[in-house]
Amino acid sequence: QVDLVESGGDLVQAGGRLTLSCVASGSIVAIDTMGWYRQVPGKQRELVATLNLDGDTNYADSVKGRFVISREIPKNTVFLLMNSLKPEDTAVYYCHTDRATVRGFNGEPLNVGERWGQGTQVTVSS
């Protein structure tokens, strides 16, 4: 099992900066890709940024040059540094993991599918 807990959401003025954190817990051996998505009411959840074990990143066009994703792999933690925030960045931000390997009851490796965190609210005032 993999559980995700986000933190760092807050109210910030336009032009400000925030850093979101997400810690994955469980008997984790490895997580391939960790990332961030966001959602506003009435709209679909959208990709913000992802980072895999090879160091490959993927950013939404709307955040390129402003947001930076990073990971502490041994701590199963992913961060999202958000600079030059805009009111349109206001959303609930969700941590996401895709494939993960965990240790089973007898220590055997098990593959688990994607997981989502509960979300953290980011509000950018104009």
Q: What is the pLDDT of residues 11-24, one digit of tens each?
A: 999 999 999 999 99
Question: Per-residue pLDDT for 1 more than 90?
Answer: no
Instruction: Residue 92: name the closest of 113, 58, 117 by CA.
Output: 117
Q: Which residue has the higher pLDDT, 107 or 122?
A: 122
pLDDT of res. 98: 93
Mean pLDDT of all residues in the chain?
A: 96
Starting from the edge strand earliest in sequence, which strands make up the sheet with 28-31, in order?
28-31, 100-103, 109-112
pLDDT of res. 19: 98
Q: What is the pLDDT of residues 19-65, one digit of tens each?
A: 999 999 999 999 999 999 999 999 999 999 999 999 999 999 999 99
Between CA 72 and CA 18 the distance in angstroms is 18
CB atoms within 10 A of CB 11: 12
pLDDT of res. 115: 96
